[in-house]
Amino acid sequence: ACLSHSKSLSDEENLKLFGKCNNPNGHGHNYKVVVTVRGEIDPVSGMVMNLTDLKEYMQEAIMEPLDHKNLDKDVPYFSEVVSTTENVAVFIWDSLQKLLPQGILYKVEVHETEQNVVVYKGEETIVK
């Protein structure tokens, strides 16, 4: 669930900014997350990274803190940060960066819907 309600804005400004996603009591989302890594291909394994390891890192960085959670109430990061899809992407990036080998994380995509996709590469956020 996410709030899409900024404490810095009035109720009217929140409604104008977030539209139907504005709800001080939160609302649910089923996000799809795509993580892209890059690097040299290991000559022995033939992989940039062991996918089993990547899945474990994703479990720890994404599923454990976020799955079936009210982002604004259950995830400390979002007590001060508005839980937009953009900020969810930043949270996932930062969480994965702490676990993955340095320089291997390339891109985090968070799909809120088929049409709403946020791409984060650590510096700028791209909304598709």
DSSP for 16-68, written as a single string: HHHGGG--TT-B----EEEEEE--PPPTTT-SSS-HHHHHHHHIIIIIHHHTT
Q: Which of 12, 40, 68, 123 is catalytic?
A: 68
Q: Nearest to residue 60, comparing CAs of 92, 32, 106?
A: 92
CA 26 from chain centre, in angstroms, equals 17
Task: Indicate if 13 belongs to the active site.
Answer: no
Task: Indicate if 21 belongs to the active site.
Answer: yes
Task: Indicate if 112 belongs to the active site.
Answer: yes
CB atoms within 10 A of CB 45: 9
Q: Which of 2, 5, 21, 111 is catalytic?
A: 21
Q: Which of 2, 5, 109, 112 is catalytic?
A: 112
User: Which residues are part of the catalytic machinery?
Assistant: 21, 68, 112
